[in-house]
Amino acid sequence: MNNALSHLEELLSKRKIVRSYKKVNFDTESLKNIASYSIKIPTAGFSRGIEIIQVFNTETIDKISNLFHERKYIEEGKDPWISHSVALFFILLNEDAYHQRYSKSDKAKAVNSKDWDVPYWFVDAGASMMNCMLLIEEKGLSSGFMGLHNTDRKEVNKLLNIPENYLVIGLITAGVQNESIITKSKEIKRKKLIHNEKFSK
């Protein structure tokens, strides 16, 4: 029996969030298709309410790093991250697209999207996010994720011309890991995450 890892298994086994990048010159042409493949996901009802803004312009990346207060983190002893990215990918959610889709006649017998106990737009956004990160790492780069909890959403929307009815889930960074920086992993108690047949502690 062949127990060799598949390409995807090997990619997943090595992937990790990286928040310390080296400043490098990088030809971003090879990254131009990442967004289009990232949104190849099974959206609820084929609502297609997940969109991506890809940013390659270095000046825009610097402005975004300022909006995320990177300079303050550097002053606190943390390493450059967003500003050293070669590309950024913003995951956008258009919730209205889901409600419009589920108002169509062919969805008359479906549970109304406003009554979902699990908002599937977030499920879809997570699927797109994971696609994006794996595609970045397949290109030999490192990836990271940052939410907008520490920045002014209105300023981000203004800079990137994002409509008010869109929600930015967060940004995914792509860069070259600064391997000279050794990050000590926090002591986290490992918990059981895989259950066979039934939930068990």
Domains and CATH numbers, the chain: 14-177 (3.40.109.10)
Q: Indicate whether 183 pLDDT > 60.
A: no
The C-alpha atoms of residue 171 and residue 91 are separated, in whole angstroms, by: 6
Question: What pLDDT, on the 0 to 100 scale, is given for residue 184?
Answer: 55
Q: Indicate whether 101 pLDDT > 90.
A: yes
- pLDDT band at residue 31 using 50, 70 and 90 as cut-offs: very high
* pTM for the structure as a whole: 0.91
DSSP lists the bridge partners of residue 167 as 93
pLDDT digits (tens, 9 = 90+) for 64-82: 999 999 999 899 988 999 9
DSSP lists the bridge partners of residue 172 as 89, 145
User: In whole angstroms, what separates CA 107 from the centre of its chain?
Assistant: 30
The C-alpha atoms of residue 74 and residue 184 are separated, in whole angstroms, by: 17
The arithmetic mean of pLDDT across residues 149-164, rounded, is: 94
For 48-58, b/e burial (b = at least 16 CB within 10 A) is ebbbbbbbbee
